[in-house]
């Protein structure tokens, strides 16, 4: 009888990798909410731009973990990604999106996230130059995909690209697998630009 109950008890124990993914997600959210991104770097304080900045931070961590090509790193990357998508789902529901509409919206959001993940990963793996990465940041964070980017947006995207390079360089596997991220403080724009 005890062994029968032990089987079910194990189902409800928290998985350590899930807790790690949750901590990494919380660290990404905290970093993406820093006022400096919105005040100095000129990221619009609206839902689309906030979503893009959060997605960028999650993508930096996921791609770093995936580059390790180990089961633990892959599981941790997946746990972070799952926490991110679950939070997006929760946000839609909290905003009053109906239960029948949430899956459709999540499909659209998922496509955007996967597109960002694939493009950033490709640029980092292939060593795209700062200008190409800055152009992509400008199109996704400073303007909608189909909108023109202002000259000011391009300059600020260049400064953001410097931050991204610095942030990625500081991501260590040991810290990420322990659920810790030592994000750098974004430089003041007069120092970054």
Give the angle subtended at the CA of 86 by the CAs of 114 and 54, to the nearest 5°.
Answer: 55
Please tell me the predicted confidence (pLDDT) of residue 10.
Answer: 52
Q: What is the DSSP string of 77-94?
A: HHHHHHHHHHHHHHHHHH
How long, in residues, is the chain? Answer: 193
145/138 Cα distance (integer angstroms):
9
**Model confidence band, residue 192 (pLDDT cutoffs 50, 70, 90):** very low
Please tell me the predicted confidence (pLDDT) of residue 64.
Answer: 97
Q: What is the DSSP string of 120-155?
A: HHHHHHTT--HHHHHHHHIIIIIS-TTSPPPHHHHH
Residue with more model confidence, 175 or 146: 175
Summarize the confidence of residues 55-71 as an average pLDDT: 96
19/71 Cα distance (integer angstroms):
16
Q: How many CA atoms lie within 13 A of 18 on its CB side?
A: 5
Please, are residues 170 and 180 in contact by the beta-carbon 8 Å criterion? Answer: no
First to last CA, the chain: 67
Please, are residues 177 and 71 in contact by the beta-carbon 8 Å criterion? Answer: no
Angle between helices 71-94 and 47-66 (to 10 degrees): 170
Residue with more model confidence, 104 or 72: 72
Please tell me the predicted confidence (pLDDT) of residue 154.
Answer: 86
Place of tokens 């410097």: 162
Helix spans in the chain (H): 2-11, 16-32, 35-39, 47-66, 71-94, 102-125, 130-137, 151-169, 173-177, 189-192
Please tell me the predicted confidence (pLDDT) of residue 74.
Answer: 96
Please tell me the predicted confidence (pLDDT) of residue 189.
Answer: 79
189/39 Cα distance (integer angstroms):
9
């Amino acid at each position: 009888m005890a062994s029968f109950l032990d089987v079910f008890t194990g189902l409800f124990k928290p998985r350590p990798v899930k807790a790690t993914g949750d901590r990494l997600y919380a660290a990404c959210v905290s970093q993406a909410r820093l006022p400096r991104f919105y005040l100095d770097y000129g990221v619009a304080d609206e839902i689309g731009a906030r979503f893009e900045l959060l997605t960028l931070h999650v993508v930096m961590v996921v791609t770093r973990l995936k580059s390790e090509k180990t089961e633990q790193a892959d599981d941790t990357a997946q746990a972070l990604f799952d926490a991110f998508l679950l939070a997006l789902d929760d946000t839609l529901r909290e905003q009053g999106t109906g239960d029948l509409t949430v899956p459709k919206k999540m499909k659209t959001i998922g496509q955007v996230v996967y597109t960002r993940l694939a493009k950033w990963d490709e640029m980092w793996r292939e060593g795209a130059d700062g200008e190409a990465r800055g152009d992509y940041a400008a199109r996704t964070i400073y303007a909608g995909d189909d909108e023109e980017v202002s000259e000011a947006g391009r300059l600020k995207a260049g400064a953001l690209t410097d931050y991204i390079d610095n942030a990625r360089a500081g991501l260590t596997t040991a810290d990420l697998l322990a659920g810790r991220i030592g994000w750098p403080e974004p430089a003041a724009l007069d120092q970054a630009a």
